A and B are shown apart, each in its own frame.
Chain A
Amino acid sequence: MNSTITATSLPKSFETLETLVPQWALATQNERQQKRINSSTGELQAFYDAVLPRLEDILAHVDKFPLNELPADSFRLFTMALSLAEVAPHIELYKGDPKVPHSFDESRFVAEHGDVRG
């Protein structure tokens, strides 16, 4: 099931990230992984470049709320930070390769936690 978050608002002061929401505000690790695999190097780089400068602000923002009790707009923002966690190694370590270089077929690796939200 695709649980893409369709609403578009982010918390105040994060408006500049709004355009990334439809593509990258993904609620589960499986969705974020699939999005990364199916993105081009350019798309990964653009996402990384847009979110990295705001990462610490995002993490400070989500810590205003108790664990797992984020309002919808903050949760949406948080899932974009989680997407950055998924994407970062590909920019920082794998020279922009959307796949893990020299790796086992990712589609054969089953994550038991893969469909958990958050």
Chain B
Amino acid sequence: MNAPAELKWAKKYPELGTGPVPVESCISPEFYEVEREKVFMKTWLKVGRVEEIANVGDYKVKKLNFAKTSIILIRGKDQKIRGFHNACSHRGNKVVVESGEETFGKSKAAVVTCRFHGWVYNAEGALVNVPEEEKFSPCFTKEENDLTKVHTDVWEGFIFVNLDPSPEVTPLKEYLGEMGEHLSNFPYDKLTKCFSYYTYLDCNWKVAHDAFAEAYHVATIHAGSFPNAFSSGLSDVQLMGPHRTTAICLSLKAEPTPVAKIANGLAAASLVAKRGASMLPPSINPSRREDFSFELSVLFPNLLVHVAENIWFTHQFWPMGPGKTLWEGKYYLAEPKTNSQRWALEFAQCLQRNAWLEDTATMEDTQIAMESGAKKFMHLQDDEILIRHGYHTLENYVHAK
């Protein structure tokens, strides 16, 4: 039996145990249904950024496949962002015609109009105009036919919705709790140059999540793109209710390659380059470790937020079935001030894209192998504690009354 001197995180969080974790929850259609109902239909989910709908009347429609719905997020004349199901009160058609996973629009009057028969709703969701209203029977009133509201709130510029139909849900701030405080005071709104990717993966959303929730893989999976980096372990792991966070520390060896060296001199845009003085809040990398690369935080259930010097990025995993996931990866940098900086960003971002292509390469193979039934359990080492906590949290949710 392997007997390491000390399992640091297991010692800090003994309630998680150290045993093998069943793979059943990643392949079972029955588990998926329960998870959908008890987790995704009940928790706060990030669906956008305030900058995406910056002006009064701007709106975004986001598909949420797991719930068979899509949500209209619209900025009202009072600047408040509200969310509604994209379903017309008339005969149930989609109000906004969508193109793809996300659809954007603008309305000077801050209204949305159903294309089918021209019913008009304002940004508070009120039905404000019905063509030929007089032909409806007296039992129909506009006042009783608002758009169906969805709980919507904003934290640090991130727009969240909660699909729970109950009139009251745990407020977002309370749901995020300590994690909300931990990740506050970072200049998300100053680093707005966004490089955004998505793809559909033939794997369970947790398989995709888990592949990004540890640094154990850096030396193997990223031997191609980040040959100069190796994980020097997790630092400052903290579990905060259903959420979890750690510092990822990377030691950088070897001189950067010629083009990387020029790019690194122009802009702080790469995770595998030394970067300067701290813009990080005191809660992040509190000991100011030299080898700190980025903070990896999981906002339960499906959002990874990473903050670093001059960089932040997110991964999000949207379940579309037991073995299908929509993955979204977004990499945010400071807007370039010069053309040469713009070039340096291109270099850093292409390299980061390549690293993500390396990350996503494992996921479908993992799913297929899990579905073979050959292995009933996975084994997690101490620095994979975020994954362990994920399954632990999920169990608590699915068994909740």
Contact = CB atoms under 8 A, between A and B. Distances in A.
Interface of A: 29, 52, 55-56, 59-60, 62-63, 65, 67-68, 70, 78, 81-82, 84-86, 88-89, 92-94, 100-104, 106, 108-113, 118
A62 B342 CA distance: 10
A68 B341 CA distance: 11
Contact of B224 (A63, A84, A100): A100
Nearest to B331: A113
B347 interface: yes
Given A82-B346, A88-B260, A111 B196 contact: yes
Contacts, number: 108
A113 B195 contact: yes
A84 B225 contact: no
12 contacts: A29-B346, A52-B258, A67-B336, A78-B343, A89-B225, A100-B224, A103-B361, A104-B360, A106-B357, A112-B196, A112-B198, A113-B194
B340 interface: yes
- Secondary structure dominating the interface of B: helix
A47 to B, nearest CB: 12
Contacts of B336: 67
Interface string B236-271: 000000000000000000000111101100100000
Given A93-B225, A112-B197, A55 B353 contact: no
A55 B339 CA distance: 13
Contacts of B347: 85, 88
* Closest 5 pairs (CB-CB, A-B): A92-B257, A88-B259, A62-B339, A103-B357, A85-B347
Contacts of A60: 340
A50 to B, nearest CB: 13
A92 B260 contact: yes
A65 B199 CA distance: 37
A4 to B, nearest CB: 18
Contacts of B356: 109
A111 B338 CA distance: 23
A104 B347 CA distance: 20
Given A55-B262, A93-B224, A101-B224, A81 B343 contact: yes
A103 B350 CA distance: 14
A92 B258 contact: yes
- Max chain B CB contacts within 10 Å: which of A70, A78, A104? A104
Contacts of B314: none
A89 B195 CA distance: 18
- Max chain B CB contacts within 10 Å: which of A55, A103, A109, A118? A103
Nearest to B337: A67
A86 B337 CA distance: 21
B31 interface: no
B258 A118 contact: no
A102 B259 CA distance: 22
Interface of B: 194-200, 221, 224-225, 227, 257-260, 262-263, 266, 336-343, 346-347, 350-351, 353-354, 356-361, 363
A94 B340 contact: no
B198 to A, nearest CB: 5
Nearest to B340: A59
Nearest to B355: A100
Contacts of B194: 113
Contacts of B346: 29, 82, 85-86
Contact of A67 (B227, B257, B342, B358): B342
B313 to A, nearest CB: 14
A103 B196 contact: no
A92 B224 CA distance: 10
A108 B225 contact: no
A111 B197 contact: yes
A5 to B, nearest CB: 16
A59 B266 contact: yes
A51 B347 CA distance: 15
Given A29-B346, A93-B227, A108 B199 contact: yes
A111 B259 CA distance: 23
B19 to A, nearest CB: 31
B195 A111 contact: yes
B86 to A, nearest CB: 21
A88 B257 contact: yes
A103 B199 contact: no
Nearest to B193: A113
Contacts of B341: 67
A89 B270 CA distance: 13
Nearest to B348: A85
